[in-house]
Structure 1
Amino acid sequence: MTDTAAPTAPVYLEPATATDSELDERFAPVFRRIAEGNLERERKREFAHDQVSWLKAAGLGRIRIPVADGGLGASLEQTFALLAALAEADANVAHVWRNHLAFVEDRLNAPRSAANDRWISRFLAGEFVGGGWTEANNGTLAAMATTIRPDGNGHRVTGAKFYATGSLFADWLDVIGRTDDGTLLTALVRRDHPGVELVDDWTGFGQQTTASGTANYTDVPAEDGDVFPVTERFAYQGHFYQVAILAVLTGIVRATLRDGVTALRSRGRNYPQGLDPVPASDPQLLQVIGGVSAYGFGAESALRQTARELDRLAAAHAADDSVERARLIRTAQVATDQAQLVIIDAALNATTEVFDALGASGVSTSALLDRHWRNARTLASHNPRVYKARILGDWVVNGADPVPDLFAAGRGGQGN
């Protein structure tokens, strides 16, 4: 990945002005409403259309847009903290917002123009972006089968994508493809065009209501101003997508702690080997819950530190400081990789170990505590954690560049 996303004119990004208390007052009541129906939606595999609408109405889709342009003026640190809080209420609903928030960030990083003003207006009106870049059958970015061909004043999109997260909730779909000369483009197309077919065929055992199935495109138009070279997408796009997942994982750890505490308090009897007849007073069981709380602390700390690095990178981009931007792309990559190791370990450990405090009653299907592990394991599979410690070690010891070249021949970068 190279730093080719320098602005050529003033961009929309501005220093954050929102306060944590303002954002909490706005969103906490909505998150509580969303949490109330989480178990039933999980049990029945119901898509959260109403819940996504509530969040649109509350302004989550415009959270990063500066106040002067009609948004809420939040920082990335605040945005990802809120996404973690939403994931504590419902990890599926939180993940649905990943593609939308990323595309809003992309347009905020873009030079001001009439076309981009239209996008800002669409976001302010509550229009929602879904989509996915990944192709089935081991397709890679270097061998993209989807085509985006010029057609008059616009383009036409034909192809198929998998992992199309959030598509069933969307007004627009963000699609990546190639021109006939091999240039990679992303196109935003209208979800309701007759050439778009969305198939609910996601078979993963976790994140089951994120609308992450197949999206088929047949000669779908993309208008002028809605097609962008991939090399012009915002400089920290890869970091953003990864940290969004880490925010959801952090929320899962918090939900695990919440449900673990509730389940332990409700236990009526203990094993003969226990240290107290009351499970909630047993020091060893309390130790388990204490450990889960520490996993949550580690995950939240890592998430906030990484988000701060991205805020610094966004500020350098807005200031058109190419030297600082290039430096911060690497420090943000290191922070993102480190956070990935910390947060994934925290999520997988917390969602497994919590059952040690609960006994056989903890695995009841009425409680659905297994959803936390299933969701965490599914999200943890989106990016190659297995390689990150090696990459970090090579950076620390040898100074090897930690930023991957996603467009190298034969490489993927699609998260599958």
Structure 2
Amino acid sequence: MTAVDELPARLTAIADATRELAAEAAIRDAEHILPTEQLRRLLDAGVGALRVPVEFGGSGASVRVLADVLIDIAAGDSNLAQIFRGHLGLTEILRSAPPGPARTTLLHDAAAGRFFGPAGAELNTTNLSALSTELRRSGDHYLLSGRKYYTTGSLYANWLNVLVRENGEFLSAIVPRETPGITIVDDWDGFGQRLTASGTAVFDQVRVDPEYVLHHHSSLTNDYMEAFYQFVHSATQAGITRAAADDLAAVVRGRTRSYPLASTPDPTGDPQVLQIVGEV
């Protein structure tokens, strides 16, 4: 049986894991309980392996399939859909990367349920062309130093994808999360999605294997990746919208009392109520 043949079973497992997300999502968000267990269940079910090519142990699923999964996850807990954004992005980059040891290892790891986290943006600039994080050669390896922010999901990661700019070129330095010199701080204080761990990552003379430095040469791939990252956002927003509509419908279904001048005694059939539901 191939991974493609196994996709329906994997999607069933993902649906089972997703079904449990909404029950305590509000409590987790209010009390800052990180969704570590929920993320692990989703990874074990195969969410992180969906776009991994079949030859590396993944499902080779389409972007359409991924969209449906992300919408379902976001409807249950939008933190988790957002947490997956960096992992899915690096997986997509690796799909089109040249063959090599790093590509092979990382795609096999994604298929096995290991997780990638991003470290791209920096607080001191809104322009990626002005990144201050440094990657310098030191003998047979590189040393990585800098401070990143908006590192969504990196607190949960096994590998970190660190964006640097050297000699006018963007590079990804990919390092194991537990490499000495790496500190991930859970200091994200945004208004919403407070459990995405989108805060600070510090890199202090972190050793990087040259095999794990990816060059972003292709303008076509770069353009595609910009669209792909926005696609993940859009799928997340679609899930949030669906959850809001479902919540509103549940409120309307639970109403038993109408008002004196209503056109019907049944509030679920009141045209004015239905108009508001339709607008949402």
Q: Does 2:214 align with 1:228?
A: yes
**Counterparts of 1:134-283 in structure 2 under 5 Å?**
134-179=121-166, 181-232=167-218, 234-235=221-222, 236-272=224-260, 274-283=262-271
Q: Are the counterparts in 1 of residues 53 and 95 from structure 2 also a CA contact under 8 Å?
A: no
Runs of 5+ unmatched residues, structure 2:
none
Distance 1:77 1:160 in 2: 35
* Whole-angstrom CA distance in 1 between matches of 2:216 and 2:190: 29
The equivalent residue for 2:59 is: 72
Residue 23 of structure 1 and its aligned partner are, at CA, apart by: 5.0
Partner residue in 1 for 2:78: 91
Query: Aligned-pair distance for 1:250?
Result: 0.5
Aligned-pair CA distance for 1:88: 0.7
Offset of residue 75 of structure 1 = 0.4
Matched, 1:104 2:83: no
1:183 offset after TM fit, Å? 3.5
Match for residue 13 of structure 1? none
Report if the CA contact (8 A) 2:56-2:108 is conserved: no
Q: 1:41 to 1:72 in 2, by over 3 A?
A: same
- Structural RMSD (CA): 2.1
Alpha-carbon distance in structure 2 between the residues aligned to 1:141 and 1:17 = 37
Give the equivalent residue in structure 1 for 2:38.
51
- Aligned residue pairs, count: 276
Per the TM alignment, residue 18 of structure 1 is displaced from its structure 2 partner at its CA by 6.4
SS of alignment partner, residue 176 of structure 1: strand
Deviation string 1:136-155 (CA, Å, 9 cap, x unpaired) is 03342221111111222221
What amino acid does structure 2 have at the position aligned with 1:31?
Answer: T
Query: Which residue, out of 30, 44, 50, partners 1:63?
Result: 50
The question of whether the paired residues in 1 share the 8 Å contact of 2:125 and 2:131 is answered with no
* Cα distance in structure 2, aligned partners of 1:137 and 1:201: 16
Q: Is the 8 A contact 2:147 2:201 kept in 1?
A: yes
For 2:235, the aligned partner's letter is A
CA–CA separation in structure 2 for the residues paired with 1:209 and 1:36: 16
* Matching residue within 284, 289, 292 for 2:277: 289
In structure 2, the CA distance between the partners of 1:182 and 1:149, relative to structure 1 (3 Å rule), is farther
1: CA distance between counterparts of 2:153 and 2:209? 22
Partner of 1:369 in structure 2?
none
Aligned-pair CA distance for 1:273: 5.2
Q: How far has the Cα of 1:43 moved from its partner?
A: 2.1
The DSSP-based 3-state class of the residue aligned with 2:211 is coil
Question: Structure 2 vs 1, CA of residues 171 and 273 (structure 1 numbering), >3 Å: closer, same or farther?
Answer: farther
Instruction: Supply the distance in 2 between the matched residues of 1:190 and 1:273 (Cα, whole angstroms).
Output: 66
**Counterpart amino acid of 2:109?**
R
Q: Distance in 1 between matches of 2:181 and 2:218?
A: 27
Q: Return the alpha-carbon distance in structure 2 between the equivalents of residues 68 and 142 of structure 1.
A: 35
> 1:91 touches 1:248 (CA, 8 Å); kept in 2?
yes
Would the aligned equivalents of 1:275 and 1:284 in 2 still touch at CA under 8 Å?
A: no
Question: For 1:117 and 1:190, how far apart are their aligned partners in 2?
Answer: 15
**Paired letter, 2:48:** G
Q: Is 1:270–1:277's contact at 8 Å kept on the other side of the alignment? A: yes
Deviates more, 1:122-131 or 1:16-25: 16-25
The runs of 5 or more residues in structure 1 that have no matched partner are: 1-15, 293-416
1:149-185, Cα deviation, whole Å (9 max, x unpaired): 1222221111111111001110111111133x44432
What is the distance in 2 between the residues matched to 1:18 and 1:244?
25
